[in-house]
A and B are shown apart, each in its own frame.
Chain A
Amino acid sequence: MAAVNGNATSSDWDDRYYHIDQILDRPGPRTDPSFQAGDDVKKFLRNKCKILVIGAGGLGCEILANLALSGFKDIHVIDMDTIDISNLNRQFLFRPKDVGKPKAIVAAEFIMNRVPGVKVTPYFGKIQDKDEDYYMQFNIIVCGLDSVEARRWINATLVNMVDDDNPESLKPLIDGGTEGFKGQARVILPQLTSCYECSLDMLNKPTAFPICTIANTPRLPEHCIEWASVLEWPRVYGDKRLDTDDPEHINWLYNIALKRAKEFKIEGVTWSLTQGVVKNIIPAIASTNAIIAASCCNEAFKIATSAAAYLNNYFMLIGTDGVYSYTFEHERRKDCPVCGGESLDITVGKEWTVERLIEMLVEKEDIQIKRPSLSTSKKQIYFQAPPQLEQATRPNLEMKVSELLEDGDEITVTSSTLPFNLSLRIKYT
């Protein structure tokens, strides 16, 4: 086995990366000026770069395969789901014998067996189980998620991690998403480019039917299913939570919906439609996943190597009528609750009362704040409204700031004169 370029490991063979090396051995017309062709960049990609893949589902399987084949060798993957038989048509790292097993673990084993020399470290659980120390170890994070909530969480976590004194704390986030024939891939550089929360208003809202239609004038099978899940379930079971992953719950809804459909002579209520409506399932298309995952991995490769300019910053694919794609720069929102707003370090005396702190904020000319309300992530400090909370927090005005807050604690300030919020970091003199 010849050591090519001096960076071969025992599992590398001659010309293993022939095609990829075409890009890494010489600069191209669009390469970044900082790009150093040759061994160093290959070493970084193959021996140093640590990449995290969030989600091992439709997009995740494609992403893992692409990354492994393009030369990333230290890959981590998180997924909280187990394999369902309905995944097998497109999630090609899974086989019928794997049904019921954790996606992250099976996917990691499959990649390691198939692509020699690649280490995939799985974690079967929620992204929320991990803290900033965990996310800090990666160079790049790629997301193939199906939930808005999980995306908002990882986005906020990465934005909050950015520390101006430590360039390593800025983790590029590449987010892929698909819905049927549509998809998007985007590059988020926390605190530098628009973040996920900045674009929250671009999301399609989930289909919801007016509750009066569901209750009185159903015309579609979906209306009957919503009748069962929105009105009948809470009426019959009270506070018991509907578990959309529990086949018995779906069965119950299906039977109720079917009965109502018969009553109103509506056709088309099936078990799988019931599951689809309550879980808000949009059919996944394997080719859309493949395109979006390829785009995400292409960006990861470019960011890891600076071999070419990376996406700035939003690529959308609309495959419903032909193949149309559009790339644009989504702009940061000044009033974004996650990456917008101001952050200030303020110095206060140990003896200061909360009231004095508020007066100081109001007098500060550079922030123009009126009637501020203050809280920490754990407790309210002073609320201007509603009356009950004003009254409940009023005693705090007399208290010393140092009795309520430790050095370095953060305060969230909201006010009608602020576009969103201001975060203050307390330092004592």
Chain B
Amino acid sequence: MIKIWSMKKSEDAAAKKKPKTSAAQIRVQKDLTELELPETMRTHFPDPSDLLNFTLTITPDEGMYKGGSFTFSFAINTNYPHEPPKVKCIPKIYHPNVDLDGNVCLNILREDWKPVLNLNSVMVGLQYLFLEPNADDPLNKEAAEELRRNRDQFVYNVRQAMRGNNVKGIQYDRVVSF
């Protein structure tokens, strides 16, 4: 009797030894395969077998950042969705809510993150920053100041920075292809 049990046990143990997919991994699979991105957003996986590290490129088709191509890196850790994904803007851009090191001020990436949010919400949130830059939550203070004081000048600065020119002594990365 005991022998039969122990045999069964070892058989089960062998069958169960295969690694299980982690909760974070399943959730990322679900988030990614159900993404409904508009034409203006595209994901890229440098290593397609690694779902936790990828980039998102936003090419706004309206607003003052129209024509630019903005790439963000996404790094997701095993504590997702308890913790939000880590998102950085790769090119150096002139934007009130993005600083020169690529940090992004978007509430749902930090203080307002909740596990019910998903990658789609983060991506839509990022796109929104290019349609409606927000001078009230500045990370690039000068840009925010300019947006508040003189919108036309701000739009001009955005165009200059997107072409890879100098704005107020700071060299920005070229993000337009024309």
Contacts and interface: CB of A to CB of B under 8 A. Distances in A.
A169 B12 contact: yes
A409 interface: yes
B21 A412 contact: yes
Contacts, number: 143
B153 interface: no
Interface in B30-54: 30, 32-37, 42-45, 48-49, 51
A412 B26 contact: yes
A133 B114 CA distance: 35
Contacts of A393: 48
Interface stretch (B58-66, B104-112, B155-163): B104-112
Interface in B89-143: 97, 99, 101, 103-105, 107, 110-111, 113-116, 137-139, 141
B110 A208 contact: yes
A252 to B, nearest CB: 18
A166 B8 CA distance: 9
A230 to B, nearest CB: 8
A384 B12 CA distance: 33
How many chain A residues sit at the interface, stated as a range, is 35 or more
B19 interface: yes
Contacts of B101: 231, 234-235
A205 B113 contact: yes
B25 interface: yes
Given A148-B79, A377-B20, A412-B21, A211 B105 contact: yes
Contact of B111 (A208, A385, A392): A208
A393 B52 CA distance: 17
Given A136-B13, A377-B21, A412-B21, A148 B48 contact: no
A257 B9 CA distance: 57
B18 interface: yes
Contacts of A203: 82
A383 interface: yes
A230 B12 CA distance: 47
Contact of A132 (B16, B29, B35, B45): B16
Contacts of B103: 211, 215, 230-231
A163 interface: yes
B17 A132 contact: yes
A377 B21 CA distance: 4
B17 A131 contact: yes
A231 B51 CA distance: 26
A346 to B, nearest CB: 15
Nearest to A372: B33
Contact of A386 (B8, B18, B25, B35): B35
Contacts of B17: 131-132
B138 to A, nearest CB: 6
Contacts of B166: none
A234 B99 CA distance: 13
Interface in B1-31: 8-9, 12-13, 15-23, 25-27, 29-30
Contacts of B13: 132-133, 136
Contacts of B110: 208-211
A201 B12 contact: no
B105 A212 contact: yes
B171 interface: no
Nearest to A408: B15
Nearest to B31: A414
Nearest to A375: B29
Given A389-B45, A421-B26, 19 more contacts: A136-B9, A149-B78, A149-B82, A166-B8, A208-B113, A210-B105, A212-B138, A216-B138, A231-B99, A373-B33, A377-B18, A377-B19, A378-B19, A380-B49, A385-B32, A385-B35, A386-B32, A414-B30, A420-B30
18 contacts: A132-B13, A156-B20, A165-B12, A166-B9, A205-B113, A208-B110, A208-B111, A212-B137, A216-B138, A231-B103, A375-B21, A380-B48, A388-B45, A389-B48, A392-B45, A412-B26, A414-B33, A415-B33
